[in-house]
Amino acid sequence: MTYPKDTIELVHGDGTPTHAIIWLHGLGASANDFPPIVPELGLLKSRTIRFIFPQAPDRPITINGGMRMPGWYDIKGVSIEDKQDAVGMKESQSMLDDMLEQQINAGIPSENIILAGFSQGGAVTYFTGVRSQHKLAGLLTLSTYLPFDGDTQAEQHEANQHTPIFASHGTHDPVVPLAMGKRSVDVLSELGYNIKWKTYPMEHQVIMPQIEDIGHWINEVFSER
């Protein structure tokens, strides 16, 4: 399969993968951020899971003085929601859609695929997941928000109206305010999405209790697939 440059792939379990998780990192980070937590998730051996960690392209980020860094879209104002980058978001949506199609073409049904992401990566996960025509196993969003939330109702696809979503956030997050993450959850809940929300005493990061909860959730979601 042809992935974006510097994408990392690893497999949990033995044999041919039957399930997949595509996991996007945050702004200024790299594809190397989340592979180390895979062994800590406590995943069951009954499912062989392909993990794909793509690398965001370098792009100028307005809020950082135009400095180029890995990013899924531009941040144009002090408020994350200020002048949202529709072009960049749709480019990343297209990339994620392509990666999803690759897994389907490789023999993994969309119903066995989780889209996941942290911060900016989580925003792309939300944006893509609610619009995808493919029924997914779940959406995993960490320390993030629902971009263009006012457009969600008009642009959502019914395929994932009942897809499980696990959203988590730090209570002391200085980057993406907790209230912003909670508002996104409330918007999706009001639209009828099956969303689980959990907070942790942390900043803009991940911690072991959260990682363990993510693993339990993945096991639960994939046990039905």
Active site residues: 119, 173, 204
Tokens of 114: 């989780």
Q: What is the DSSP letter of 157?
A: -
> Going edge to edge, which strands form the sheet with 165-170?
8-12, 49-53, 19-24, 113-118, 138-142, 165-170, 195-200
Measured between alpha carbons, how far is 108 from 192 in angstroms, rounded to an integer?
27
Q: Rounded to 5 degrees, what are φ and ψ at 66?
A: 80, 5
Q: At a CB cut-off of 8 Å and minimum separation 6, what does 224 contact?
A: none
Q: What is the DSSP letter of 119?
A: T
Tokens of 218: 């993945």
Measured between alpha carbons, how far is 172 from 117 in angstroms, rounded to an integer?
19
Run of H or E including 8: strand 8-12
3-state secondary structure of 104: helix
